[in-house]
Amino acid sequence: MVQDAEDRSIAVLIHQSLVPSIRLELFPKSTIDVFLTIIENDGIDSCVATGTVAASTALADAGIEMLGLVMSCAAVSQSLTRLLLMSLKNPSGS
């Protein structure tokens, strides 16, 4: 599989988001690999945001000690309007 420049930049941004939350001192001679499959890319910002949340959740599910889950979202600024790109659906259904 060939990585293009965009794939590499997404990987670096997700890596930078995750590393501060992982208790690396507990894994001195270890490597932790996380693989993401991106089915559809609507833009690098939203891709990094969702990839970071997915990777953080996967690490926690795998039992990797972390200081906390990493949350992320994307924002857009158009002229004087700022938009936060996130789901407005309430998971409880109310």
CA-CA distances (angstroms) from residue 5 to 9, 65, 68, 71, 90? 6, 31, 30, 25, 36
The mean pLDDT of 5-11, rounded to a whole number, is 83
For residue 12 the two structure tokens come to: 């670096």
Domain ranges (residues) in the chain: 5-85
- pTM of the predicted structure, to 2 decimals: 0.74
Q: Are 34 and 55 in contact (CB under 8 A)?
A: yes
**Based on C-alpha coordinates, what's the Rg of the chain?**
15
What is the tens place of the pLDDT at every residue in 37-91? 888 777 788 888 889 999 999 999 999 999 999 988 877 677 766 666 555 454 5
